[in-house]
């Protein structure tokens, strides 16, 4: 990676102040608490009605020999088949789909969650990459412990790439791309709120 690239990759202290970092971290901690407490209706209130919620598929592409020696040769982006790809993302949803999922969660015949899973997520590496007016680009990493009666325990790991919208009543999630770090999907569901 060139020096310029390194520089542009660092946060701008004029935009990302300690107060802003604290504010954004608190948002993510609260979001994690709501999700682990199964307060999905409260969580949905953190989503913009214009939300685009995507979990790209992750494939194993051929290595391009001409990229040999460059970081781009093994870049994660090459593996992702997201919303704009001609592949099939695992999830590619808007607000009505998230609403449907939230409604489902509070019905006793949502059998995959009866009894409900016990989850605990640790959200970290919260990095504010850019601030443009009322929009913040933020990446974070998560580990999620998932446990259901009668099942094994599972560890989910991934990255979230968000665009947060700052408004009068706090932040709303406008865009979320979830990069799952699993090569073989042996997890019981990727239909969770992540």
Partner 1 sequence: MSISIADVVNDDATLISRRAWSDPELYELEKRGIFGKAWLFLAHESQIRESGDFVQAYMGETPIIVSRGPDGAVYANINSCSHRGLPVCRSDHGNTTKFVCPYHNWNYDVTGKLVAIPQERHVKGRPDKSKLGLKAVPRVESWNGMIFGSFDPEIESLDDFLGDMRFYLDAFFARFPQGIEFYGAPQRWKINANWKLPVENQLGDVNHGPFLHAAVIPPEANAEVFELGLSVVPKPGHGATFRLMPEDAPVESVAWGFEGMATLLGGAEVQDYLREIQAQAKERVGPLRSRMKGLTYGVYPNLSFLWSNTAFKVSHPRGPGQVEYWSWSVVPADAPDDFKKIMRGNHTAFFGPGGILEQEDSEAWVQQFQGSKIDYAEDRPYFYGLGLGEEQERSDMPGLVSVTANEFYARHFFRRWRGALEAAQG
H or E element, residue 97: helix 95-105
Q: 143-162 burial by CB neighbour count: b if 16+ within 10 A, else e?
A: ebebebeeeeebebebebeb
H or E element, residue 74: none
Q: Applying CB under 8 A, does 57 fall inside the site for partner 1? A: yes
Determine which residue in the list 109, 115, 133, 169 makes contact with partner 1, applying CB under 8 A.
Answer: 109
CB under 8 A: which stretch of 6-14, 20-28, 53-61, 161-169 binds partner 1? Answer: 53-61
How many residues of this chain bind partner 1 (CB under 8 A)?
39
Q: Which C-beta is closer to partner 1: that of 11 or that of 154?
A: 154
Q: Which of 98, 80, 102 shows the shortest CA–CA distance to 89?
A: 80
Q: Which of 173, 37, 179 shows the shortest CA–CA distance to 98?
A: 173
Determine which residue in the list 37, 41, 59, 70 makes contact with partner 1, applying CB under 8 A.
Answer: 59
SS (H, E, C) 150-176: CCCEEEEEEEEEEEEEEECCEEEEEEE
Q: By CB under 8 A, what part of segment 1-40 binds partner 1?
A: none
Q: Are 105 and 38 in contact (CB under 8 A)?
A: yes
CB under 8 A: which stretch of 21-29, 106-114, 129-137, 161-169 binds partner 1? Answer: 106-114
Distance from the Cα of residue 58 to its chain's centroid: 14
Determine which residue in the list 30, 104, 143, 145 makes contact with partner 1, applying CB under 8 A.
Answer: 104
Q: Applying CB under 8 A, does 176 fall inside the site for partner 1? A: no
Q: Applying CB under 8 A, does 187 fall inside the site for partner 1? A: yes
Maximum CA pair distance of the chain? 56
Site string (117-156) toward partner 1, x via CB under 8 A: ---------------------------------x------
CB under 8 A: which stretch of 16-24, 32-40, 41-49, 79-87 binds partner 1? Answer: 79-87
Residue ranges binding partner 1 (CB under 8 A): 55, 57, 59-63, 81, 83-94, 96-97, 100-101, 104, 107, 109-112, 150, 184-191
């Amino acid at each position: 990676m060139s020096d310029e690239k390194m520089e542009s990759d660092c946060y701008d202290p004029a935009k990302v102040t300690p107060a802003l970092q604290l504010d954004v971290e608190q948002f993510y901690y609260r979001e994690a608490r709501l999700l682990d407490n199964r307060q999905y209706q409260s969580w949905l209130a953190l989503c913009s009605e214009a939300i685009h919620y995507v979990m790209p598929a992750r494939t194993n592409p051929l290595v391009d020999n001409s990229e040999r020696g460059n970081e781009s040769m093994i870049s994660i982006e090459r593996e992702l088949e997201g919303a704009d790809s001609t592949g099939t993302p695992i999830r590619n949803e808007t607000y009505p789909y998230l609403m449907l999922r939230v409604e489902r969660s509070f019905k006793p015949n949502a059998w995959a969650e009866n009894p409900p899973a016990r989850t605990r997520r640790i959200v970290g590496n919260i990095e504010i990459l850019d601030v443009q007016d009322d929009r913040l680009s933020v990446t974070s990493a998560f580990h999620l412990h998932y446990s259901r009666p009668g099942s094994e325990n599972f560890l989910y790991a991934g990255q979230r790439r968000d665009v947060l919208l700052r408004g009068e009543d706090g932040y709303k999630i406008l865009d979320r791309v979830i990069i799952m770090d699993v090569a073989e999907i042996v997890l019981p569901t990727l239909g969770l709120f992540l």
